Structure 1
Amino acid sequence: MGRQRHALSPTPDEADPSQDRRFVTALARGLVLLRCFGPADRWLAHQALARRSGLPQATVSRLTFTLTSLGYLRHRAATGEYALSPAVLSLGFSVLSNFEIGRLARPFMETLAEDTQAAISLGVRHGTSVVYVAHCRSTARLILGLDVGTRLPFAETAMGRAMWCASAPGMRALVAQRLRAEDPARWPEREAGLRRAEADHAARGYVVSASEWEQDIAAIGVGVDLGDGREPLSLTVGGPAARLRGALLHEHFAPALVRTGREIVAAIQAGDWED
């Protein structure tokens, strides 16, 4: 592991973009504020936005006023809370609905969902998170209640770890830099989890997470590398940890997941698509 430490140092081409004179800090801060809203959040108070974004309260006040004026946030004056408006949601879902990779992958994901009676997800990286661009549920009653647009942490999930293992060293270095800067205290634990994922991937061809992001939820993941230089996606099987374990997980679900990942790559490389 010691010989690999150099991979965590970014190359000059991967320097912090915020240091570039073309970088618009105000725009970046506005987007940071919008990303404070998670799947379970309807309304957030000013103090919560400041805490989650790490921005000064005065800056949050200016940003919320601007975003509300432009129609991207709604303001509830009685409580001082804010919510995402349909305007910002439509931006995200219009992109996701036209994401051709998800369209081409869906038939394979549906087959895998029925085969495993679990939840199948395809995701991409966004900053230090992963975002679902396609999601299929089986007909089983006990499945994950997540959907397209769901945002998950990178380092603690099978989806993020699979992306990490499929990424080039330079991209790993950039993600590591951002994870460390985001929460220095948690970085050693996160780094250890990513290193374990590397070992699992080398030995098995897939990665695992068990109750690390959400209690009693487990998942396995594989990277989906299209081979054209872009960042890999990730394909996962997820469900209750009590079910996704042992021989069922490693001897049945995992081979099916790896096979499906290869089928998706072949379908995308053979298809006529744009992302």
Structure 2
Amino acid sequence: MKRPPKPIAEDAGWIPDEFEGERHFVTALARGLEILRCFRKGELGLTNADFAERTGLPKATVSRLTFTLTKLGYLTLSPDSGRYRLGAGVLSLGYSMLSGLDIRTRARPLLQELATAADASVALGARDRLAMVYLECARGPGTVTLSLDVGSRVTLGTSAMGRALLAALPDGERDYLLRAMKDRMPDAYPRIVEGVERAREEIAAQGFCTSFGDWQADVNAVGVAILNDEGAPIFGLNCGAPAFKLSQERLMQEFGPRLVEIAAILGRGTV
């Protein structure tokens, strides 16, 4: 699959090289799914030219893919503007995925209790390529500036929950993801590596890691990975708020340890 030398979108157009030539890998299906990944939060619609730029696919291929996805209900086309939006079929898939996650139900009261105590945003997330996707969120009574919700994405290498998950991964898998970040985000890569190494040290020492101004300059957060019964990281948790509302000291002394306790509870009985 052709990819641009300097990808435009972090998540579109990234099909690992080892999949190319794999006998059971259906490239046409992969390309169609890459089209759906091109959309970013707040965009009103994309044209075929936008899809081609973000995926590196030929425009003729993009036109066939968008036509097919529209017929299947995964895209809708505005005849006046020539722009595509995500269709109801995508929402149906996402809802089916979320409704099958028992951990969301178990996590909800625990997250809300911590969010209320810290007056912060607390979230459960899972890795999707080079990002963490929020699966469940809770907010404190005064938290209005962090508007992330279910489905929001935060960067894997700079967010607290992303770093926690990376730190808990086996060396080979972590190195693979770091190489992918180096390829797609070369300017940010040194800072990402430094943050992940610091996260490994912090987790070894205290069970959770920090992201103080790394994901966003004015946001303090702590993160931890949820491990299943076999010790494999499967989800991430974070607790964060604007720096003027929640100090580093309180996160380190009070809410980081509570996040570790929640992760231990949620990890029990999972596979």
Which band: TM-score by shorter chain?
0.7 to 0.9
- Structure 1 runs of 4+ aligned residues shifted over 4 Å read none
- Choose the corresponding residue for 1:176, options 167, 170, 178: 178
**d(CA) in 2 for partners of 1:80 and 1:212?**
38
Q: Does 1:107 align with 2:109?
A: yes
**d(CA) in 2 for partners of 1:239 and 1:162?**
17
Q: Percentage identity across aligned positions? A: 38
Q: Does 1:164 align with 2:166?
A: yes
CA positional deviation for 1:112? 1.2
Which residue of structure 2 aligns with residue 238 of structure 1? 240
Q: Which one-letter code corresponds to 1:248 in the other structure? A: R
Which residue of structure 1 aligns with residue 9 of structure 2? none
1:238–1:262 Cα change, 3 Å: same
| Bigger Cα displacement from structure 2, 56-65 vs 90-99 | 56-65
1:183–1:248 Cα change, 3 Å: closer
**TM-score (normalised: structure 2):** 0.84
Q: How does 1:84-233 map to 2 (within 5 A)?
A: 84-228=86-230, 230-233=232-235
Which residue of structure 1 aligns with residue 42 of structure 2? 40
**d(CA) in 2 for partners of 1:218 and 1:42?**
31
**TM-score (normalised: structure 1):** 0.83
1:15–1:240 Cα change, 3 Å: same
Preserved CA contact (<8 Å) 2:181 2:189: yes
CA positional deviation for 1:229? 6.0
CA positional deviation for 1:198? 2.0
Deviations 1:32-91 (A, max 9, x none): 121111332332233332333333333322221221121101112222211101111110
**d(CA) in 2 for partners of 1:52 and 1:157?**
24
**d(CA) in 1 for partners of 2:256 and 2:231?**
26
Preserved CA contact (<8 Å) 1:226 1:265: yes
Deviations 1:12-36 (A, max 9, x none): xx98233411111111121112111
1:68–1:230 Cα change, 3 Å: farther
Find the residue that maps to 1:232 and give its secondary structure.
Answer: strand
Preserved CA contact (<8 Å) 2:121 2:137: yes
**d(CA) in 2 for partners of 1:230 and 1:65?**
40
- Choose the corresponding residue for 2:64, options 42, 62, 65: 62
Gaps of 5+ in 2: 1-15
Q: Which one-letter code corresponds to 1:89 in the other structure? A: L
Preserved CA contact (<8 Å) 2:208 2:257: no
1:34–1:193 Cα change, 3 Å: same
Let me know the Cα RMSD of the aligned residues.
2.3
Find the residue that maps to 2:239 and give its secondary structure.
Answer: strand
**d(CA) in 1 for partners of 2:85 and 2:211?**
32
Q: Give the aligned length.
A: 256
**d(CA) in 2 for partners of 1:180 and 1:28?**
23
Which residue of structure 1 aligns with residue 26 of structure 2? 24
**d(CA) in 1 for partners of 2:220 and 2:51?**
30
- Choose the corresponding residue for 1:72, options 64, 71, 74: 74
**d(CA) in 2 for partners of 1:116 and 1:55?**
46
Find the residue that maps to 1:83 and give its secondary structure.
Answer: strand
1:47–1:192 Cα change, 3 Å: farther
Preserved CA contact (<8 Å) 2:207 2:257: no
- Choose the corresponding residue for 1:255, options 257, 261, 270: 257
Considering Cα pairs closer than 8 Å and 6+ residues apart, tell me whether 1 or 2 has the greater RCO.
Answer: 1
Q: Which one-letter code corresponds to 1:105 in the other structure? A: A
**d(CA) in 2 for partners of 1:262 and 1:101?**
12
**d(CA) in 2 for partners of 1:229 and 1:53?**
36
**d(CA) in 2 for partners of 1:170 and 1:179?**
14
Q: Which one-letter code corresponds to 2:93 in the other structure? A: L
**d(CA) in 2 for partners of 1:262 and 1:32?**
35
**d(CA) in 1 for partners of 2:216 and 2:87?**
27
CA positional deviation for 1:261? 1.6
